[in-house]
């Protein structure tokens, strides 16, 4: 490790103790930036890196609400406003019991570079709560969202900070949050993205992250003159990103053989085609059931419960060509990465944020496979959020074809920026360096333009 990387990491660890995911996300970026700093000492002089790792603002607040029994419940709410150099803070809200300050800082940090890559004018932010929507009634979710927004509303706005969905926050939650914002502020504005179509949402936003991750994989494959046609794909998760990843892979002629949730995974060697995917969407989005129920309906599939005593996740141990980790951070460990490689996987496109541990990433890079890191591969979601903001400003709605066309154009452009930056900085084919460097340069140059703020 260089003296520069050591110095930054010492600083980040001292200032942000007990936040391992944040340290991990920063480490990966500064490792790549080592290549940039050599050629551009001006970023060091202006302490751009020291500033970029420090959130511009952090909000942490109490979220009290009444459950269906009339008992008082208390959760913790957060919003990290990480960087506004190139536009208003933009990024999702995550509701999951594992949420804490460090996890949201890692997500907000990643978001800065991701948003920069999209070509749209968006800064980076992230927020959420340790609230667990699982097993809660719609009314409980509504009361929680209303309490959360009663505080959050004073910090956000369509030109200031525009939240959206992430794990545990989908159309239902965005609706409750928007309703409360509108009521408290008496303003109908594009303060959130992922809205319903009748009240300012964009076509293709629900599909965008999954579709984008598949478009990114297709772009990587195109560099070798290949397509997704006939490819066997492993997908993890069964939420928003996993569902639309599966839909697009099917459309492009690939076959998805796995899906999962936090309890286990299903393996269906016949492929999760259109009819089976419709069942999964109803199961997860309407009935809010568990993926295990897939095997009650489709006998071609087997279910394997998650076994924490294993050193690996068997989902990643099937013969395949492509993998789309689409559940959560650090879901692919170093053993999993080795298993993927030995099973023939040579395309990994990350729908989730930071799903692969650093030793796993190193294995992919050493093996010179087509590895698209989350901040590039899953940027389609926030990109279409940016397009939702544009449509809100215009007070117009674009067609499906228009939005999907723009999404495809943006994913192509992200791929090209990453590919070119990797080559320009001496590591051809390394999309990790490419994404970190290309995402960084736009924000860093803007920070130089705007002075010490």
**Whole-angstrom distance, CA of residue 238 vs CA of residue 327:** 7
| 350 versus 447: smaller Cβ distance to ligand NDP | 350
The β-bridge relationship of strands 124-129 and 161-164 is unpaired
Tell me how far, at minimum, the Cβ of 391 lies from ligand 2IT, in Å. 14
Q: Tokens for 407?
A: 């999404």
Partner that binds at residue 261, options ligand NDP, ligand 2IT, none, CB closer than 5 to 8 Å by kind: ligand NDP
Nearer to ligand NDP, 181 or 265 (CB): 265
- Contact call for residue 376 and ligand 2IT (CB under 6 A): no
Question: Residue 240 or residue 246: which is nearer to ligand NDP going by CB?
Answer: 240
Count the Cβ atoms, other than its own, within 10 Å of residue 5: 18
3-class secondary structure per residue, 66-119: ECCCCCEEEEEEEEEEEECCCCCEEEEEEECCCCCHHHHHHHHHHHHHHHHHCC
What tokens appear for 444 in the block?
Answer: 């860093």
Which does residue 116 bind out of ligand NDP, ligand 2IT, none, counting CB within 5 to 8 angstroms by kind? none
Residue 91's binding partner, choosing from ligand 2IT, ligand NDP, none, with beta-carbon cut-off 5 to 8 A by kind?
Answer: ligand 2IT
Question: Is the CB of 301 or the CB of 387 nearer to ligand 2IT?
Answer: 387
User: According to the binding rule CB under 6 A, does residue 381 interact with ligand NDP?
Assistant: yes
Which structure tokens are listed for 131?
Answer: 């609230």
Nearer to ligand NDP, 153 or 240 (CB): 240
| By CB under 6 A, residue 153 contacts ligand 2IT | no
Q: In the bound complex, what is the minimum distance in angstroms from residue 109's beta carbon to ligand 2IT?
A: 11
Residue 239 touches which of ligand NDP, ligand 2IT, none (Cβ within 5-8 Å per kind): ligand NDP
Residue nearest ligand 2IT, Cβ-based: 92
Quick one: what does residue 352 bind among ligand 2IT, ligand NDP, none, with the CB cut-off 5 to 8 Å set by partner type?
Answer: ligand NDP
Quick one: 27 or 262, whose CB is closer to ligand NDP?
262
Choosing from 102, 168, 373, 439, the residue that interacts with ligand NDP (CB under 6 A) is 168
Count interface residues toward ligand NDP (CB under 6 A).
25
Decide if residue 240 touches ligand NDP (CB under 6 A). Answer: yes
Rule CB under 6 A: is residue 193 a binding residue for ligand 2IT?
A: yes
| Sheet bearing 302-305, strands edge to edge | 302-305, 264-267, 255-261, 232-235, 322-324, 347-349, 370-372
Residue 240 interface partner, choices ligand 2IT, ligand NDP, none, CB cut-off 5-8 Å depending on type: ligand NDP
Compute the radius of gyration of the chain from its Cα atoms. 21
Q: Which residues are the active-site residues?
A: 126
Least distance CB 368 / ligand NDP (angstroms): 25
Q: Which two tokens stand for residue 250?
A: 């099917």
Binding mask 303-332 for ligand 2IT (x = CB under 6 A): ------------------------------
Interactions with ligand 2IT, residue window 3-32 (CB under 6 A): none
Contact pick of 153, 246, 353, 391 for ligand NDP (by CB under 6 A): 353
CB 316 within 8 A of CB 334: no
Please return the burial class of 220, using the count of CB atoms within 10 Å of its CB with bins 0-12, 13-18 and 19+.
Answer: buried
> Does 239 engage in binding with ligand NDP (CB under 6 A)?
yes
Q: How many CA atoms lie within 13 A of 89 on its CB side?
A: 23
The terminus-to-terminus CA distance of the chain in angstroms comes to: 29
Q: Select from 50-58, 259-267, 362-370, 428-436 the region that touches ligand NDP (CB under 6 A).
A: 259-267
Of 55, 87, 92, 124, the residue at the interface with ligand 2IT (CB under 6 A) is: 92
CA 451 to chain centre: 30
* Sequence-separated (6 or more) residues with CB below 8 Å from residue 317: 336, 339, 343
Whole-number Å distance between alpha carbons of 242 and 260: 9
What are the distances in angstroms from CA 73 to CA 65, 129, 144?
5, 13, 9
CA–CA dist 364, 344 (Å, integer): 12
Residues 276, 319: contact at Cβ < 8 Å? no
**Helix, strand or coil for residue 216?**
helix
DSSP string covering 344-387: T--EEE--SSS-B-HHHHHHHHHTT-EEE-HHHHTTHHHHHHHH
Q: Determine the size of the site formed for ligand 2IT (CB under 6 A).
A: 12
The answer to the question of residue 24 lying near ligand NDP (CB under 6 A) is no
Q: Give me the residues that bind ligand NDP (CB under 6 A), please.
A: 96, 98, 165-168, 170, 209, 237-242, 261-263, 326-328, 351-353, 378, 381
Q: Give me the residues that bind ligand 2IT (CB under 6 A), please.
A: 90-92, 111, 114, 164, 166, 193, 353, 381-382, 385
């Amino acid at each position: 490790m260089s003296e520069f990387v050591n110095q930054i990491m010492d600083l980040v660890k001292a200032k942000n103790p007990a936040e391992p995911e944040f340290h991990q996300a920063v480490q990966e970026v500064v490792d790549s930036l080592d290549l940039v700093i050599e050629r551009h000492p001006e970023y060091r002089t202006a302490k751009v890196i020291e500033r970029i790792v420090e959130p511009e603002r952090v909000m942490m607040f109490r979220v009290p609400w009444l459950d269906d029994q009339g008992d008082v419940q208390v959760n913790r709410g957060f919003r990290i406003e990480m960087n506004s150099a190139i536009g208003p803070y933009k990024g999702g809200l995550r509701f999951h019991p594992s949420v804490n300050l460090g996890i949201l800082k890692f997500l907000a940090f990643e978001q800065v570079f991701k948003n920069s890559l999209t070509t749209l004018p968006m800064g980076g932010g992230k927020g959420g709560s340790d609230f667990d929507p699982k097993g809660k009634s719609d009314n409980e979710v509504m009361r929680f969202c209303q309490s959360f927004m009663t505080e959050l509303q004073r910090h956000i706005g369509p030109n200031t900070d525009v939240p959206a969905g992430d794990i545990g926050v989908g159309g239902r939650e965005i609706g409750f949050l928007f309703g409360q914002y509108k009521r408290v502020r008496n303003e109908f504005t594009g303060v959130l993205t992922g809205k319903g179509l009748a009240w300012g949402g964009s076509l293709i936003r629900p599909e965008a992250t999954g579709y984008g991750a598949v478009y990114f994989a297709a772009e990587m494959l195109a560099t070798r003159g290949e397509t997704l046609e006939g490819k066997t794909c492993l997908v993890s998760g069964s939420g928003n990103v996993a569902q639309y990843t599966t839909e697009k892979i099917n459309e492009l002629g690939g076959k998805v053989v796995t899906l999962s949730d936090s309890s286990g995974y299903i393996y269906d060697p016949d492929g999760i085609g259109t009819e089976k995917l419709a069942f999964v969407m109803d199961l997860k989005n309407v009935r809010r059931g568990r993926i295990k129920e897939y095997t009650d309906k489709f006998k071609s599939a087997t279910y394997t419960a998650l076994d924490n005593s294993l050193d690996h996740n068997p989902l990643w141990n099937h013969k395949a060509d492509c993998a789309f980790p689409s559940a959560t951070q650090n879901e692919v460990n170093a053993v999993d990465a080795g298993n993927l490689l030995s099973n023939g996987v040579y395309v990994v496109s990350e729908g989730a944020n930071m799903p692969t541990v650093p030793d796993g990433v190193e294995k992919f890079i050493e093996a010179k496979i087509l590895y698209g890191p989350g901040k590039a591969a899953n940027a389609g979601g926030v990109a279409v959020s940016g397009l939702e903001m544009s449509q809100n400003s215009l007070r117009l709605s674009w067609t499906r074809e228009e939005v999907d066309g723009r999404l495809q154009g943006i994913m192509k452009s992200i791929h090209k920026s990453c590919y070119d930056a990797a080559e320009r900085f001496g590591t051809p084919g390394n999309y990790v360096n490419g994404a970190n460097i290309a995402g960084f340069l736009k924000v860093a140059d803007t920070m130089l333009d705007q002075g010490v703020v």
